[in-house]
Amino acid sequence: MAMPMPTTAEETKTALRLVITGGGTGGHVYPALSVLDAADDAPTVLWIGSTGGLEAPIVQRAGIPFKGIDAGGLRGMSPVKMARNLMRLGRGFVQAWRLLRTFRPDVVLATGGYVTFPVGVAAWLQRIPMLIYLPDIEPGLAVRALAPFATRIAVTGEAAQAHFRAGKTVVTGYPVRRALQALPSREAARALLGIPAEARVVLVTGGSQGAHSLNEAVGRNLNALLDMAHVIHIHGRSDGEWLRSLRAALPDALRQRYHLFDYLHEEMAAALRAADIVVARAGASTLGELPAAGVAAVLVPYPYSGAHQWANAEYLAAQGGALVVPDAEIAARIVPVVRTLLEDEARLHAMQAAMQRLAQPEAAQRLYRLVQEMGQAKRDRRSK
């Protein structure tokens, strides 16, 4: 998704100037890319992320100019490391200040991660309006700290509004990549991935960084899973070596049914759309992407970062689109749970339909309209 750059002096003068800041994990990057997908007026964009963060390659791959600044977390670490990260945030603030002074944005969109804090404070001091988008129902530390500096706060669902000052929030839904909405059918998605149209397909994904316990659950039960379905397995940062060895040792017929990847970029939309069932962590994206794909889910919340993934999973389960399995039980339960769903077609279809009812295809447009309105208000004030 290359961002069209203004070509004439006139366009440069009139195009909306937008700074996006967010990073640390994919969950803070894809929502902003989806908002840009919905931009219909060719804004001039600069992304400010963290130096060395995983967001840099994803953003640059999308053709968006990227600048890294110093940033670091402050939670659950030794006092020495915390002091070092505080200094990094201080340096990051100076770097952000200079970038904003040079780029002169009309508006800042912040989507989460520690890097947003120095950028947001610098923007506030320079009187640049800022929209925070919170993908999760519960805000993390960076978003909580940043909220007082925001002009507006957009959220995925009503439950998130309770965490912020009344009147500042607006419910937009979770913005989903256009590619996911554009795929015409499950069969078309399967054709893209080389999977037969009539196959049963299970996608296993541990979010943007992968999940070791999901990888173990697949590895330990590989033959049983492949007897039932094609398995698209995205293993993430760890476990690639032993999983590739397991795959190599499979009999030919089963190996062809095991689609193993470390990470998917553009093909992620096809993988979600191709699946009958997704077995996944319950990061914020599940609230938007699983409904957009209309896929039934078995959700395994990440157990070590508070309860917010449980909140996401239980919400989708309460609406009838997902089952929730605790992390410690997934290795023992992945085969019976997947089998039960595949064998009960009526139940599987009911879950898929329930998921589909939660789709909010307008979310990205809603968010971009807010960005435009806030940017325009700033321009109007400037020209007075």
Q: In this chain, which stretch among 25-33, 187-195, 321-329, 373-381 interacts with ligand UD1, using CB under 6 A?
A: 25-33
208 annotated to a ligand binding site: yes
Q: Which is nearer to ligand UD1, 21 or 285 (CB)?
A: 285
**Binding status of residue 299 toward ligand UD1 by CB under 6 A:** no
Tokens of 88: 């990094």
- Strands 152-155 and 66-69, bridge-based pairing: unpaired
Q: Is 239 in the site for ligand UD1 (CB under 6 A)?
A: no
Does the protein bind ligand UD1 through residue 135 (CB under 6 A)?
yes
Instruction: Name the residue nearer to ligand UD1 (CB basis): 283 or 321.
Output: 283
Would you say 26 is a known binding-site residue? yes
What are 228's two structure tokens? 């039932």
- DSSP, residue by residue, 9-40: HHHHHHS-EEEEE--SSGGGTHHHHHHHHT--
Is 60 marked within a binding site? no
> Between 54 and 96, whose beta carbon lies closer to ligand UD1?
54
Name the amino acid, one letter, at 276.
Answer: D
306 beta partners: none
Asked whether the beta carbons of 115 and 21 are under 8 A apart, the reply is yes
Does residue 62 bind ligand UD1 (CB under 6 A)? no
Give the neighbor-by-neighbor strand order of the sheet with 66-69.
Answer: 66-69, 44-50, 17-21, 107-110, 130-134, 152-155, 169-171
Q: Which segment (19-27, 101-109, 123-131, 320-328) binds ligand UD1 by CB under 6 A? A: 19-27
Nearest residue (CB) to ligand UD1, 135 versus 321: 135
174 sits near ligand UD1 (criterion: CB under 6 A): no
Query: Pick from 1, 3, 25, 314: which binds ligand UD1 (CB under 6 A)?
Result: 25
- Residue 12 annotated as binding site: no
3-class DSSP state of 68: strand
234 binds ligand UD1 (CB under 6 A): yes
Could you say whether residue 42 binds ligand UD1 (CB under 6 A)?
Answer: no
Q: CA triplet 35, 288, 154: central angle to 5 degrees?
A: 50
Residue 121 makes contact with ligand UD1 by CB under 6 A: no
Judged by CB under 6 A, which stretch of 64-72, 74-82, 280-288, 352-360 contacts ligand UD1?
280-288
152-155 and 130-134 beta bridge pairing: parallel
d(CA 355, CA 129): 35
Among 145, 170, 228, 264, binds ligand UD1 (CB under 6 A): 264
The structure tokens listed for 376 are 């325009």
The correct pick among 302, 317, 352, 360 for binding ligand UD1 (CB under 6 A) is 302
Report the distance separating Cα 291 and Cα 299, nearest Å: 13
The pair of three-digit structure tokens given for residue 317, joined into one six-digit string: 């389960």
Tell whether residue 27 is among the known ligand binding residues.
yes
The one segment of 151-159, 263-271, 322-330, 361-369 that binds ligand UD1 by CB under 6 A: 263-271
Helix (H, G, I), strand (E, B) or coil at 275: coil
Q: DSSP readout, 146-202? A: HGGG-SEEEESSGGGGGGS-TTSEEE------HHHHH---HHHHHHHHT--TT--EE
Which residues are annotated as part of the binding site for UDP-N-acetyl-alpha-D-glucosamine?
25-27, 177, 208, 309
Binding interface with ligand UD1 (CB under 6 A): 25-28, 30, 112, 135-136, 205, 207-209, 234, 263-264, 268, 283-285, 289, 302, 305, 308-309
